[in-house]
Amino acid sequence: MREEKAIPEFKSEQEMAEFWDTHSVADYWDLLEPDEIELAPELAAKIRERSKTKRVTLRLRVSQIEAAKRIAKEKDIPYQTLLRSWIAEAIRREQEKRA
């Protein structure tokens, strides 16, 4: 059984940051209280837009997936994110051609 710990009172944000850098919030989860936050309008819009995604199944050649994974690794992003950005860019280009 885990020993319940108390969250100390902090004298500064620096002290608080140093504490959380060396302690796991999981050890204090039950002591934390929910709070309301206000998001910047741009971030709120981005979250709303992202929640409008739909899962699709797309068959690609193994070599295409491997190439996407290599490129994504170089960019330090998930390969799915890379593929989505490529699709979005291709759609944008096609729409510009038609405009």
CA gap 84, 91 in Å, rounded: 11
Range(s) of the domain holding residue 72: 59-99
73 inside domain: yes
68 inside domain: yes
49 inside domain: no
**pTM for the structure as a whole:** 0.51
74 inside domain: yes
98 inside domain: yes
Q: What is the pLDDT along the chain (99 residues), one digit of tens a residue?
A: 456 678 999 999 999 999 999 999 888 888 888 889 999 999 999 888 878 888 899 999 999 999 999 999 999 999 999 999 999 999 999 999 998
| Encoded tokens for 23 | 């302690």
How many domains are contained in the chain? 1
54 inside domain: no
84 inside domain: yes
